C-alpha cells in the first residue's frame, strides 16, 4: 500500500521542493499533484531570459523545471519513499518560450520498475494551447542518501550553505510521516553554513562569456570563458549555494547542469562562428548524468559534430576536478540564425 493518501502526498511534495535550494530560490510552486504525477510552476522573472533581443526564455530554465517536476512525479509514484537520482533527460523544444511569462511543467511517472522510473511531461505557458516543450526522463532508484566523502582535501575553501553533516534516517517499520518521507530524499531548506571547495586554476585568464544583459540567465549562472583549447573554448560555472539540488550529499541540481551544458554549446557555436549576429536556438537536448556534481566550480567544453546551413549538432562534456571524469555528457541540435529570422 502507498504511504500517500490525500494531503500526505501534497505535504511530502511541498517538503521535497522546499528542500531544494535552487527550487526555493527560483520560486517553484506546486499547482497540482496526484498518484505518479504533478504540475510545477516556475514564476516569470527577467532573470530567466536567454535571448534579450528576441525576448525568449533560456532553454536551461525549461530543463531545470522539467527535471524538478519529473523528480516530484517519481516520488508520488512510489509506495515507499527511497533516494533516487536522474539518469538522463531529453528535451524537445517545440516552440520558442516567451520571456517574462510563467512556465508550468506537467509530469507523469508512467512506469516504475524495481530499478528505474520513467517519466514524461509537457511544458506550457499561460495563454498557449500547445506545449512549448516536451520532456522524457529516467531515474535510478535506491541511490546513495548519505553525505558525500569525495570532496578534495587540502585545498582552500569558501563559505556557503549546504546540509548538516548527518546521515539519512534509517528506514522505519511503521508508516513514515510526510516530513520523514521527504527527509529521506533531501534535507530541509533551512540548513547550517559549512565549507565547500572551489576548483579553479588561479592563473587561468578569464572573461565573461557574454556581455552583461545579452543573456540574463547566463549572467545568473555567472559563466566565464577561458582561452580556446583544441576544439573550442572552456567555460566555467562558479559554484554558489543557490545551484544546489540535493543538500544531503551535497550535489548541484541536475537541471542546472543541463542549463550550463546548453549554455556552453550555444556559446561554443558563437565562438566558432564569429559572423553570427544572433543566438542559435535549441531544437532538442539530451543529457546523461555520469556522477553527482560536487559543490565546486564546473567546467564545460563542446565539440561541433556536424554543422549545415540551418542546423548544428553539438556535444558537450562537463567536469569538475578532472576532465577525464565528466559529471555530465550531452548533445543538442541547434537552429542556426539567418538574416531573415
pLDDT of residue 293: 96
pLDDT of residue 89: 98
- Does 196 score more than 80 pLDDT? no
The continuous run of DSSP H or E covering 92 comes out as strand 84-93
| Mean pLDDT along residues 272-284 | 91
Better-predicted residue by pLDDT, 207 or 311: 311
| Mean pLDDT along residues 274-281 | 89
Report the alpha-carbon angle 88-92-94, nearest 5: 165
| Mean pLDDT along residues 215-235 | 86
SS3 call for 222: coil
The distance of Cα 289 from the centroid of its chain, to the nearest Å, equals 11
pLDDT of residue 321: 92
Report the alpha-carbon angle 126-127-132, nearest 5: 70
- Distant-in-sequence contacts of 112-116, Cβ < 8 A, 24+ apart: 112/36, 112/74, 112/77, 112/78, 114/141, 115/140, 115/141, 115/142, 116/87, 116/140, 116/141
- Does 1 score more than 70 pLDDT? no
**DSSP string for residues in 21-52:** HHHHHHT-EEEEEETTEEEEEE---GGGEEET
pLDDT of residue 4: 56
CA distance readout (Å), 161 to 52, 131, 166, 191, 250: 31, 36, 15, 7, 10
25 φ/ψ angles, rounded to the nearest 5 degrees: -65, -30
The answer to whether residues 307 and 336 touch, using CB atoms and an 8 Å cutoff, is yes
pLDDT of residue 340: 62
DSSP state of 119: E
pLDDT of residue 101: 97
- In the chain, % of residues over pLDDT 90: 66
- Does 160 score more than 50 pLDDT? no
Which pTM does this prediction carry?
0.82
Domains of the chain: 7-145+154-166+175-335 (2.40.160.210)
Amino acid at each position: 500500500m502507498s504511504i500517500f493518501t490525500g494531503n500526505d502526498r501534497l505535504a511530502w511534495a511541498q517538503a521535497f521542493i522546499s528542500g531544494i535550494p535552487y527550487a526555493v530560490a527560483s520560486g517553484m510552486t506546486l499547482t497540482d499533484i496526484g498518484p505518479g504525477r504533478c504540475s510545477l510552476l516556475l514564476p516569470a522573472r527577467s532573470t530567466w531570459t536567454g535571448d534579450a533581443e528576441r525576448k525568449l526564455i533560456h532553454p536551461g530554465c525549461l530543463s531545470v523545471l522539467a527535471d524538478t517536476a519529473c523528480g516530484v512525479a517519481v516520488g508520488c509514484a512510489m509506495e515507499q519513499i527511497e533516494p533516487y537520482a536522474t539518469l538522463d533527460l531529453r528535451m524537445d523544444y517545440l516552440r520558442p518560450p516567451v520571456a517574462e511569462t510563467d512556465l508550468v511543467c506537467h509530469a507523469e511517472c508512467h512506469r516504475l520498475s524495481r530499478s528505474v522510473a520513467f517519466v514524461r511531461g509537457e511544458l506550457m505557458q499561460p495563454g498557449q494551447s500547445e506545449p512549448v516543450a516536451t520532456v522524457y526522463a529516467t531515474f535510478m532508484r535506491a541511490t546513495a542518501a548519505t553525505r558525500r566523502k569525495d570532496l578534495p582535501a587540502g585545498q582552500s575553501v569558501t563559505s556557503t550553505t549546504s546540509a548538516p553533516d548527518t546521515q539519512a534516517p534509517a528506514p522505519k517499520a511503521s508508516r513514515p510521516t510526510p516530513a520523514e518521507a521527504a527527509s529521506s530524499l533531501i534535507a530541509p531548506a533551512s540548513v547550517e553554513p559549512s565549507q565547500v571547495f572551489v576548483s579553479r586554476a588561479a592563473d587561468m585568464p578569464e572573461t565573461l562569456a557574454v556581455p552583461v544583459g545579452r543573456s540574463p540567465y547566463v549572467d545568473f549562472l555567472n559563466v566565464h570563458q577561458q582561452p580556446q583549447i583544441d576544439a573550442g573554448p572552456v567555460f566555467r560555472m562558479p559554484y554558489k549555494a543557490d545551484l544546489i539540488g540535493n543538500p544531503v550529499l551535497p550535489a548541484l541540481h541536475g537541471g542546472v547542469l543541463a542549463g550550463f551544458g546548453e549554455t556552453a554549446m550555444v556559446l561554443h557555436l558563437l565562438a566558432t562562428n564569429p559572423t553570427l549576429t544572433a543566438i542559435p536556438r535549441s531544437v532538442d537536448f539530451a543529457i546523461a548524468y555520469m556522477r553527482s556534481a560536487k559543490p565546486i566550480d564546473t567546467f564545460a567544453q563542446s565539440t561541433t559534430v556536424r554543422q549545415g546551413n540551418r542546423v548544428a549538432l553539438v556535444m558537450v562534456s562537463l567536469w569538475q576536478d578532472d576532465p577525464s571524469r565528466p559529471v555530465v555528457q550531452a548533445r543538442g541540435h541547434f537552429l542556426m540564425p539567418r538574416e531573415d529570422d
